[in-house]
C-alpha cells in the first residue's frame, strides 16, 4: 500500500497519513521587545532607487504585525508612502531627523 506525499515550498515532504508524526518544530513568532530595548537605526539610502532618497529604519525585533504598525505610524506622521522589505521599514523621502525625534518621543530611547 503506497502513501500519498506532497512537497512543501521549503522542499520538505510530508505525508497525508493520519499517524505520521512531524519531527520538525513549528516556528514560533518572535516576541516584540519593549520600546526602550529596541535598538533602531535610521539612515538615508539612494541605492537602486533611481537617485531618489528613502529613509531606512533597521533593527526592529518583534512580530511582523508590530513592525507593520510602527511603519504605518511613521508613514502617517510623515505624510508619505513607504513599505516593509527584508526587515527594513522604508519611508519615501528624507525624514531621518524627524523620525529619530518621533521614535524617541514614542519611547524608542535607543534609536540613532
> pLDDT for 2-50, tens place per residue?
455 454 555 546 556 666 665 556 555 568 888 888 899 999 998 888 8
Q: What is the pLDDT of residues 70-95, one digit of tens each?
A: 999 999 999 999 999 988 999 999 99
pLDDT of residue 22: 59
pLDDT of residue 105: 93
The mean of the pLDDT values for the chain is 82
Q: Among 71, 70, 72, 87, which residue's Cα sits nearest to residue 35?
A: 70
Q: Which residues pair with 14 in a beta bridge?
A: 6
Q: Quick check: is 83 in a domain?
A: yes
Q: Quick check: is 44 in a domain?
A: yes
CATH number of residue 100's parent domain: 3.30.780.10
Q: Quick check: is 2 in a domain?
A: no
> Domain of 87?
35-105
Residues whose CB falls within 8 Å of the CB of residue 80, separated by 6 or more in sequence, listed in order: 91, 92, 93, 95
Contact 84, 70 (CB under 8 A): no
pTM over 0.75: no
> The cell 519611508 sits on which residue?
91
Q: Quick check: is 30 in a domain?
A: no
Q: Residue 32 is placed in which grid cell?
A: 516584540
pLDDT of residue 1: 47
Ordered alpha helix ranges (H), the chain = 64-78, 96-105
Q: How many domains does one find in the chain?
A: 1
> The cell 513568532 sits on which residue?
29
Amino acid at each position: 500500500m503506497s502513501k500519498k506525499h506532497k512537497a512543501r515550498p521549503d522542499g520538505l515532504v510530508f505525508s497525508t497519513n493520519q499517524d505520521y508524526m512531524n519531527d520538525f518544530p513549528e516556528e514560533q513568532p518572535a516576541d516584540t521587545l519593549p520600546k526602550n530595548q529596541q535598538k533602531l537605526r535610521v539612515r538615508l539610502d539612494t541605492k537602486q532607487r533611481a537617485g531618489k532618497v528613502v529613509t531606512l529604519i533597521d533593527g526592529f525585533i518583534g512580530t511582523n504585525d508590530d513592525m507593520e504598525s510602527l511603519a504605518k505610524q511613521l508613514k502617517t506622521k510623515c505624510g508619505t508612502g513607504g513599505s516593509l522589505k527584508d526587515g527594513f521599514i522604508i519611508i519615501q523621502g528624507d525624514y531621518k531627523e524627524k523620525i529619530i525625534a518621533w521614535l524617541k518621543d514614542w519611547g524608542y530611547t535607543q534609536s540613532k
